[in-house]
A and B are shown apart, each in its own frame.
Chain A
Amino acid sequence: MAYLPIILVFILYFSSIPIAYALFGSSLFYFAVIDTSSPVDLILQKFVTSTQSFPLLAIPFFVMAGSIMNYAGISKKLMQFADVLTGHMAGGMAQVNVLLSLLMGGVSGSANADAAMQSKMLVPEMEKRGYDRAFSTAITAASSAVTPVIPPGINLIIYALIANASVGRMFAAGYVPGLIMTISLMVTVSIISKRRGYQPVRETRAGGKEVFHQLRESIWALLFPFGIIAGLRIGMFTPSEAGAIAVLYCIIVGKFIYKELGKEHIIPVLRETIFGTSGVVLIIVSASVFGYYLNWERIPQAMASGLLTITQNKYLMLMIINVLFLVMGMFLEGGAAMIILAPLLVPVVTQLGVDVIHFGLICIVNIMIGGLTPPFGSMMFTCCSITRCSLQDFVKEVIPFIVALLISLILVTYIPIITLIVPNLLYGVA
């Protein structure tokens, strides 16, 4: 009986009930019928607490920023500069998409916010340049997995608190794995683009003079990510507030510098922000309600303790944990999966001689990959609901990127120095 909601959620899921409703429906069924030891209406506590969360505000802020960028001509200027740099390469625009996520990694700690902004801002531009929608959506989702691995990132901090590890070391540990994920995605983009013939938009590499000219044209658009990073570094605002500052920046540049933003854009921007945010957040809320049920029944804990008895071999154990995290990442929201599983796993792996920081990065990369996979990956939903790409098409296109990220995960898992080199250089060997 305790497992019935899991079956129910799949039945609802495949009978074309919206995802949020599949998750709400089966969790409510559990608390109304199966376990009534707590009054059923109290599940609404979870509806409120999972929405009334300050870090979650990054989603509407970055969606709004992305939408303003389109109307204010900032996206266009950014794309023109990208064309000059990468236009001669096959799949150049898709590479820009990946690089922008790496850059956004220094700004925000939320993959969903990054995915939402770029779905709004880059996917339409990519479609204009001949990329198909599903491919553009897939690379936007896949590259957003890099954002939380590069510091700052909420998951990096949550893990440091759980594992009693230094936040500074944890942050430092994110850089190289984030870069490896970026490179693996770029290689994949390049292979696919060549095979599909995503044509370069220009014949030859741009000369220095042209690059410089376009740089001057696009400077305000380029300052967007760098300006925000600078604001964070001088202590003007926190990563959660960064999104609101991004909105302000885009309004000022669009209105007073590019002079393309006008009163007539207010309603479309708001409309896009509301539709781009509420559907996504509703799914996040429903997933956290479902996660509440799983946790209430201690299902992740049961799975973890079952799997942990299988082996005492360090490498095999890491493999098992990777599989466990991937499966859990498909069902639970990233932070929740970490809070539930990490306390169970950290003592086990440290006993086998795995470094705490190293293990943290394994967990986080894993959770991010889970966010891309059906049935309930959150970045998958974020991107698909904004670009209106069907899930089936998305899944077909995202598979090569998931494979690329899995290769990065294997590298991060079995070559500890990838994770530990930067923290060891900065803070000395632990």
Chain B
Amino acid sequence: MHQAVKKVLSNFELIIASAAIIVTTALVMLNVFTRYFLRTGIYWTEEVATACFVWSVFIGAAAAYKHRAHVGVDMLGNLCPPKTKKAITIIVDFVLLLINGYITYIAVIYISLSYKKPTPVLGISTAYISSSILVSFALTTIYSVYFLIKDIRQPATGGTT
């Protein structure tokens, strides 16, 4: 595969999240400008800016998940011998897979039943916003499977005995 294509693919969450946050920032700046200098406002900026922010947060969270960058307390792992540590890692991976998979599942139900609900200002389908949750947790579910398989294959290491 071409190097550039590879780079885009491996960073696609960051690209989507960045695009969304740029739109958010630009819209808020634009609204301040038109309101203060032109004395007229763009009434839909708040709705669109916050909708883009929702996308940025959830897709960005998936990127962070891919890099295993979410904050947690690693207490048990440091206290246990390698074998126990590996077992705990696998259980944790499994629980995370369960949570991610479950949120993906309820997101499908939620969107299929609520897509008719219009947004308050523009009156477009709320699915334009809520589907960010589905996309994000579908991605994290895939990464969870990957991490689970990887951690099962990895030999038991680390920890202080």
A-to-B contact residues, CB < 8 Å: 12-22, 24-25, 28, 32, 40-44, 47-48, 51-54, 56-57, 60-61, 64, 235-237, 241, 244-245, 247-248, 270-271, 273-275, 277-279, 281-283, 285, 381, 384-385, 390-392
Contact = CB atoms under 8 A, between A and B. Distances in A.
Contacts of B76: 14-16
13 contacts: A13-B73, A14-B75, A16-B74, A17-B92, A18-B96, A19-B70, A52-B54, A248-B29, A270-B22, A274-B18, A279-B61, A281-B57, A282-B57
A414 B66 CA distance: 49
Interface in B75-110: 75-77, 88, 91-92, 95-96, 99, 102-103, 106-107, 109-110
Nearest to B62: A278
A102 to B, nearest CB: 25
A25 B49 contact: no
A53 B132 CA distance: 15
A48 B103 CA distance: 13
Given A14-B76, A16-B88, A52-B51, A271 B14 contact: yes
B124 to A, nearest CB: 14
Nearest to A56: B53
Given A15-B76, A21-B96, A41-B106, A275 B69 contact: yes
Contacts of B74: 16, 390
B141 interface: no
Contacts, number: 169
Contact of A57 (B49, B60, B133): B49
B95 A12 contact: yes
Interface of B: 14, 17-18, 21-22, 24-25, 28-29, 31-32, 36, 46, 49-51, 53-54, 56-61, 63-64, 69-77, 88, 91-92, 95-96, 99, 102-103, 106-107, 109-110, 113, 126, 129-130, 133
A142 B126 CA distance: 38
Contacts of B91: 15
A279 to B, nearest CB: 5
A42 B110 contact: yes
A28 B92 contact: no
Contacts of B54: 48, 51-52
Nearest to B93: A17
B117 to A, nearest CB: 10
B28 A241 contact: yes
Given A277-B21, A279-B60, A390-B74, 20 more contacts: A16-B72, A18-B70, A18-B96, A19-B70, A19-B73, A42-B110, A43-B106, A51-B50, A51-B54, A57-B50, A244-B29, A244-B32, A271-B18, A274-B14, A275-B63, A279-B71, A281-B57, A282-B61, A381-B71, A391-B71
Nearest to A385: B71
Nearest to A235: B36
A54 B46 contact: yes
Contacts of B53: 51-52, 56-57, 60
Contact of A51 (B57, B63, B75, B106): B57
